[in-house]
Structure 1
Amino acid sequence: MRKSRKLAVLTGVGLAPCLVLGLSTTPASAHGWVTNPASRQAQCATGTVQCGDIKWEPQSVEGPKGLKDCAGGNARFADLRDDSKGWKVTNVGSSTTFNWKLTVQHATSTWQYFVGSTKVAEFNDGGARPAPNVSHNVNFKGITGKQKVLAVWNIADTANAFYACIDVNIGG
């Protein structure tokens, strides 16, 4: 009986740190995505386009800074990379306003907007924490036609960024 009690105590002592860590760890909360014009993850979330896991987590397209990937390097959200998926294209003028919805306001270094490999706009927040809703007016500098815009929210105090692709018809 004494060996059983000793084994139970040792087992409890060994499991206690795991339980404490497991109970104190909270899942990553959400972050942010472009809602207007509707980004690909916004279209997934509203059911405009049928998608996998991203429909439940439009705010979670996070990856290392410097990527040019609609899915932020995340294989779980590969639907966002599929240009043939039937994304709704929004007609915009030579400039348009992009609206972000943020569920966690991370300290922000910059917001960047790309068409192909061309950076068309950058907004420097200098480490400030943004409001829950952020808007940027982006001038497309003579680019026209159907384009995929990559919007990037670079976080100031981590190595990560949040990514969103938006399909637009500039001048349409």
Structure 2
Amino acid sequence: MSWSRRLLTASAVGAGALVATTFAAGTAGAHGAMFGPASRVAACYAEGPETPKSQVCKDLVADSGTQPLYDWNEVNIASANGQAQQIIPDGHLCSANRDKYRALDWARTDWPATSVTAGAKTFNFRVTAPHQGVMKLYITNSSYNPTQPLKWSNLDLANPIATFASPRTSDNGYYNVNVNLPQRTGRQLIYMVWQRTDSPEAFFGCSDVDFGSGTAAAAGAFAAQAPNAPTEAQIAAGTGHSSVSHYGHGGDALTAQEAAAGTATTGTTLPVDNSTSNLLLGMAGTGLLAATASGVLLARRMRNTAVTA
């Protein structure tokens, strides 16, 4: 192989590495979970990944290890792009169809459940990396049976209990989401879909709640204990065991006004905007063109030098 061809090959390989690095940097990260009412993964993490208390959390660790709990803020699909219903099959909603989090899909009545009543409430989402996006919360309908795998048809998709426009800042690490809980009885489930509008990535979560007055069959064979949310000390202590990033923002740098703002408020649904993905693609493409052009230019110079000699 001639030097010019070798150089062009090396340039292409280097450019490919640049593209891979660019996209890898864009997909790393983890960004939050519902703490009030606590999601399944957050509740089990709060019990302690190494020494969980409830039977269901013990079984989760026995089945999947402790890593899903240390990565409590990562239940995501990087390329969801608003197509959650199309890409997540029935029975796999709580795990976002990811094998790592498969235990979250277990249809059991001993998941720790938060006691609630109908009416206006404020839910608390612990956000470790704020992003512009739309968070929708759904509640199960009359077809829901906690002993059966959760299906999309079990959710009241036409009437979300909250639609929250998430900003790129948070209120001391939380999004405070106003919801309106309808009348229900017994154990129900709150399903969260947080679709970013600065990238195709989306996050998902399941929080078990109990309206009371349920039948003995609905209550199940196990008495569920009320869940706790992780403390800030627990979050800090587990960061070193996490395999995902706990910090950062989506999109470009915050403006001075955004950095000064701290309170997250509800808003209208935002249009899907893949500007971050387009920016990464542009950066990768620019790097590829620059690397290839440099290789071609250098190869020509070497060939001309060889001819002159």
* TM-score normalised by the chain length of structure 2: 0.46
**Where does 1:3-18 land on structure 2 (aligned, <5 Å)?**
none
Q: 2:161 aligns with which of 118, 121, 130?
A: 121
Shift of 1:72: 1.4
Residue 44 to residue 142, structure 1, CA distance change in 2 (3 Å): same
More helix as a share of residues: 2
Residue 33 to residue 90, structure 1, CA distance change in 2 (3 Å): same
Q: Deviations along 1:96-129, whole A, 9 cap, x unmatched?
A: 432111111111134333323204413241x732
In 2: Cα distance, 1:154 partner to 1:160 partner: 6
In 1: Cα distance, 2:176 partner to 2:111 partner: 22
Q: Deviations along 1:45-82, whole A, 9 cap, x unmatched?
A: 22441433311211111122334711112121111101
* TM-score normalised by the chain length of structure 1: 0.76
In 2: Cα distance, 1:124 partner to 1:39 partner: 17
On the 8 A contact 2:135/2:192 being kept in 1, the answer is: no
On the 8 A contact 1:94/1:171 being kept in 2, the answer is: no
In 1: Cα distance, 2:180 partner to 2:212 partner: 12
Query: Quick check: 1:84 aligned with 2:108?
Result: yes
Shift of 1:137: 3.1
Higher RCO structure, 1 or 2 (CA under 8 Å, sep 6+) = 2
On the 8 A contact 2:139/2:188 being kept in 1, the answer is: no
More strand as a share of residues: 1
- What amino acid does structure 1 have at the position aligned with 2:75? V
Deviates more, 1:149-158 or 1:106-115: 106-115
Shift of 1:10: 10
- What amino acid does structure 1 have at the position aligned with 2:139? F
Q: Higher Cα Rg: structure 1 or 2?
A: 2
Shift of 1:20: 6.0
Query: Quick check: 1:58 aligned with 2:99?
Result: no
In 1: Cα distance, 2:17 partner to 2:169 partner: 35
- What amino acid does structure 2 have at the position aligned with 1:105? P
In 2: Cα distance, 1:163 partner to 1:40 partner: 11
In 1: Cα distance, 2:206 partner to 2:105 partner: 9
In 1: Cα distance, 2:200 partner to 2:12 partner: 34
Show the counterpart of 2:286.
none
On the 8 A contact 2:136/2:192 being kept in 1, the answer is: yes
Residue 54 to residue 21, structure 1, CA distance change in 2 (3 Å): same
- What amino acid does structure 1 have at the position aligned with 2:197? A
In 1: Cα distance, 2:11 partner to 2:198 partner: 36
Q: In the comparison of the two structures, how many residue pairs are matched? A: 169
Could you list the structure 1 runs, at least 4 aligned residues long, displaced by more than 3 angstroms after superposition: 9-27
Name stretches of at least 5 consecutive residues in structure 1 with no aligned partner. Answer: 1-8
Name stretches of at least 5 consecutive residues in structure 2 with no aligned partner. Answer: 1-6, 141-153, 214-309
